[in-house]
Amino acid sequence: MFVNIHTHRKPQLLDEICIRNAYLHPPKNTEIQYLISVGLHPWFASKMEEKNWVQTLQNSSKIKGCAAIGEIGLDENYPNMQQQIKAFHIQVEWAQEQKMPILIHQVKALSEMQLILKNFTQPIVLHGYNGAIEKWKQLNFYNNTFASFGKTIFNPSKKLIHCIQNIPLNRVFLETDQSNISIQKIYEQFALIRSEPIALISNQMQLNFESVFGKQKFK
């Protein structure tokens, strides 16, 4: 079984459990057979001006199959930082109220993110993680923050290799995001870097998934 914690497409393998990013709106088919996440991405924080976006988020997060709020977060490479901060704060508060995990997009803005998340007690997944293990430790509030690794592990920096080799496996997820790489290939590369068998990693990813989302069985 392969857990794909963040993707922009439907499951590609028969033994793949995924959370598909649905932005603010879930698929029109209400009988979806996979999990989704909903949220206002920081790149699109200008959409805060649209009427009832918070209500849309709240309604979408309550449908069957919605497992997380995300991807949400902060990205200093985009100029709309004040809008990002406001949108992120609103969504973090909603996730806390609903006791839902969040999927984080984070580029720089570490101090601002720490401030907003300091009282957040639900699981946090740092998607597309590409940083040092020290940064993960800074954001590991309540020992409940997971780093999710994706396509960058095929051309990793030294700090990323060090992070992958030293981060506790019970604080890890793997993902495909928008890439065309299969989740199985991500697992194989991750196992190679850690020098551990895929079976061990696969089993731990399932345990991590169950610890955050419960024993939901979606394919």
Q: For residue 101, give the CATH number of its domain.
A: 3.20.20.140
For residue 218, tell me if it sits in a domain: no
Domain count, the chain: 1
For 169-197, b/e burial (b = at least 16 CB within 10 A) is eebbbbbbbebebebbebbebbbebbeee
Q: Three-state secondary structure along the chain?
A: CEEEEEECCCCCCCCEEEEEECCCCCCCCCCCCCEEEECCCHHHHHHHHCCCHHHHHHHHHCCCCEEEEEEEEEECCCCCHHHHHHHHHHHHHHHHHHCCCEEEEEECCHHHHHHHHCCCCCCEEECCCCCCHHHHHHCCHHHCEEEEECHHHHCCCHHHHHHHHHCCHHHEEECCECCCCCHHHHHHHHHHHHCCCHHHHHHHHHHHHHHHHCCCCCC
For residue 41, tell me if it sits in a domain: yes
**Residue-level pLDDT at 33:** 79
For residue 26, tell me if it sits in a domain: yes
Domain with 71 in it? 2-213
For residue 91, tell me if it sits in a domain: yes
For residue 134, tell me if it sits in a domain: yes
- Write out the chain's pLDDT in tens, 219 residues: 899 999 998 888 888 999 999 888 766 665 677 899 999 999 988 776 666 889 889 999 998 889 999 999 999 988 889 999 999 999 999 999 999 999 999 988 888 999 999 899 999 999 999 999 998 998 888 889 999 999 999 999 999 999 999 999 999 999 999 999 999 999 999 999 999 999 999 999 999 999 998 865 444
**Residue-level pLDDT at 218:** 41
For residue 219, tell me if it sits in a domain: no
